[in-house]
Amino acid sequence: MNEDLGLKILSEIMAWDDEQARREFAWLRLMSRLKYDGYRDFQAGMRFIESLATWLQQFEKIERPTAYSFVRDVLVYVGPNEMNRLVEQLYPAAVREQIVGMVARERSIPRYRVLADDQARAAVERLRKQTLFMGLSDGAHIDGIRHSTVGLLSNEQFVLATQLDQQKWQDLVKDLRDRVEDETARFRLVYLIDDFVGTGTSFHRWNEDKSKWSGKLQRFKESLESAVKLIGEHVCAPGWVLCIHHYIATDAGAKAMEDRVNGALEHLQTNGWAKEIRFTYGSKLPAELPIYTTQRFADFIALTNKYYDPAIETKHTAIGGVPHIGLGYGGCALPVVLDHNTPNNSVALLWAETEGGERDGEKAPAMRPLFRRRQRHS
């Protein structure tokens, strides 16, 4: 659709007068071009203004200013430029600091002396080569880390997943030993990387139905244990350190994830497991970001209840502990959109798409998404 036509339709939908239309058009044009048109999951031929016009029409006329104000004033959109910056900062802000800190503690010297000490500097170089980076999802942006660390890290230090076969584990160990020229070398530092943590349940949780721990951390642990059986030796050195890095995290989600992991340390501490687990974040969202923290959004929260189709609930969303996910998975109530996908922790009105219909004897409305979500589970 032509942008001018889209704006004209939007103006009619919102019943703006000429002055307000001029003001809003300027903002919409700017934000569309700078950010929102880059969203990857818009339907073919559609961009933000068309999507916004379609989205607003599901509400009654009196409700549309509330919905528009939510998008205008509250939405947090993380575009490729912001995400690339977070990816590029992983090594200097987190990895290098971790390596220097480990060497300083091991040699009992202040951090500021590490790079001035020849032996400590050599230890930093070796530890950097003994670091392994593993992606927990496509959002790990492993390719971006590789590009931003050319000359510092080798391609053989990166893998796209944590569950590897025998050949891959053998190749990782062989490449490590070639790098450090030591036939007994093993990894001393492992990074597990992901893009976003909302509740932390997908990373580590207690599965009551099966009475066991599950999630990405547990699968990584099982992969390490499998590697021992497959290649006949541990791939990580005694006393190795595990670092969990998320580019973006909610304040509550980060705390809950860390608490769950710390509460499971006894279970995790098996032969060959990490001596220490550390958590780092590229950016932590403000604690007051969830929209339920203030009465300001009471009217919009009412819309999340009114325009809700239970069809978006699945066995996977039930894991979050909140059956009604109008405020998103786990009731996180986030106004967050990532350019490659919208987290289901965000309010459902932003991403949910249904046809509506009868649900338990009641008619549910069709839900129209502003930023269509690509579902990982069905």
C-alpha span between 87 and 147 (Å, rounded): 10
Whether the CB-CB separation of 368 and 303 falls below 8 Å is answered with: no
Answer yes or no: are the C-beta atoms of 224 and 276 closer than 8 Å.
no
Backbone angles phi, psi at 337, to 5 degrees: -130, 130
**21, containing H or E segment:** helix 18-34
pLDDT on residue 146: 96
What pLDDT is stored for residue 1 in this prediction? 54
What integer pLDDT is reported at residue 378 of this predicted model?
Answer: 46
- Helices 166-180, 118-129: crossing angle, 10 deg rounding: 160
Per residue of the chain (378 residues), give pLDDT as tens: 567 788 889 999 999 999 999 999 999 999 999 999 999 888 777 789 999 999 999 999 999 999 999 999 999 999 999 999 999 999 999 999 999 999 999 999 999 999 999 999 999 999 999 999 999 998 899 999 999 999 999 999 999 999 999 999 999 999 999 999 999 999 999 999 999 999 999 999 988 776 788 999 999 999 999 999 989 999 999 999 999 999 999 999 999 999 999 999 988 988 899 999 999 999 999 999 999 998 999 999 999 999 999 999 988 888 888 999 999 999 999 999 999 889 999 999 999 999 999 988 889 999 999 999 987 654
Beta-strand pair 205-207/212-214: antiparallel
pTM for the whole structure: 0.91
Token pair belonging to 360: 């338990």
Beta bridge mates, 277: 242
pLDDT for the residue numbered 46: 79
Using H for helix, E for strand and C for coil, what is the string for 203-234?
CCEEECCCCEEECHHHHHHHHHHHHHHHHCCC
